[in-house]
Structure formats: structure tokens, C-alpha cells
Amino acid sequence: MTLTESSPTPQAANGDRSPDVGTDLRVRAATADDAEQLHAILDSPHVLDGTMRIPHSTVESTWESLRPNTDQRLLVAVDRSDRVVGLLVLVTHLGAPRFHHVAHIDLVATHPAHQGRGAAGLLINTVIEMAEQWMAIERLELIVFTGNVGAARLYERLGFRVEGTMEHYGFARGRYVDAHVMARLTSRPAAR
């Protein structure tokens, strides 16, 4: 499940750069040293509302669920002081011959103080480039709650399209919520 803010992106699908957005941020692979910062982001109310996470998890269980492995990559956006301001989990299927061309953005989250400042767009653009230029990924997909309008708009600007809606997909704050399945195909030109 993904979450992000409705912010301008560092680089839109058409190649345009937004001025001063994400310019002080960089993307790197996460390490175990980032576990406490990742947990703090994922335990914040806006992330809990937009993802399938349950409140009151431990730092250890958070790291265990995020820890990179053969099919899971964990990227973080960090500021100039190397503080984690956002994260993205990418799940691939490289060992599945008939499914290896598909990757799933499983989670995007930003620190509350950094919403709307370009971290999510920077992370997603980085994954798009990795997927298309280095991993031979044809289909990049994600799931977003229908109420997360800002996130859906960001994904659309980056070339993702709604492929369907799943009713009662998640449960949050005592009620069922619907979710969109969105995908970006390398062979399908991005909307301009």
C-alpha cells in the first residue's frame, strides 16, 4: 500500500523539472542504521491512515518487514545531514520467469515535516529509472486508497493509470476503504 503527499515532483514524466523541489535531497539504499528513523516515519498518523500498517509496532518488527532481500529493495530519501525524510519499498519477481518484468511499489512514505517537499516524487522517479533502465521492468504497479487523492494525482503525473478499483480493500479507523490499482507500462507513453 502506498502513501505520499500531493506535491510537485522533482521531475515529471515529461522530463520537466520543478524548481527547488527535492534539490536538497538524495536517494540511497537503506541500512539497518536507518531502522529507528524508518519506524518513526511509518508510525506517524498520516502514514498509518494511508497504508496497511497497524499502530504500535516495534522498531525491530518494522525493520524485519522492510529489510532488503533478493526480491525487495528499500530506498530512502535523505537530506544533507543524511536524515531519512522518505522511503520506498520496491518488490520484484526476478526469479519468476513469467512475471519477472513486473515490479510493485509496495510502500511510499514521507516524514510529516517533509510532506509536499519532493521526497516522494524523487523516490518514485528514481525507481522508474531503475526499473526501466537497469532491471528490464515493463510493468510498475501500486495500490493506493481512493481517499488518498494527492497520492493518486502524483502517480498520474508520473505516468501511472488507474486500472481498477477494489472495494473494501483495507480497513482503517473502524471502516472499510476502497483502493485503486495503478500501473505504469514502459511501452505506454506517459500522459503529458
Dihedral sign for Cα atoms in the order 153, 86, 66, 137: positive
Check pLDDT > 60 for residue 183.
yes
Check pLDDT > 50 for residue 188.
yes
pLDDT score recorded for residue 172: 86
pLDDT tens-place string over residues 52-91: 788 788 899 889 888 888 889 999 999 999 999 999 999 9
pLDDT score recorded for residue 54: 80
**Cα three-residue angle 15-184-67, rounded to 5 degrees:** 100
What residue spans define the domains of the chain? 26-185
CA distances from 169 to 116, 146, 165 (A): 26, 10, 9
pLDDT tens-place string over residues 101-154: 999 999 999 999 998 889 999 999 999 999 999 999 999 999 999 999 999 999
What is the CATH superfamily name and number for domain 26-185?
Gcn5-related N-acetyltransferase (GNAT) (3.40.630.30)
Cell 507513453: give the residue: 189
Cell 539497518: give the residue: 32
Cα(110)–Cα(114) distance, integer angstroms: 6
pLDDT tens-place string over residues 153-163: 999 999 999 99
Q: How far apart are the first and last CA of the chain?
A: 26
pTM: 0.83
Cα(145)–Cα(163) distance, integer angstroms: 13
pLDDT band of residue 23 (cuts 50, 70, 90) is low
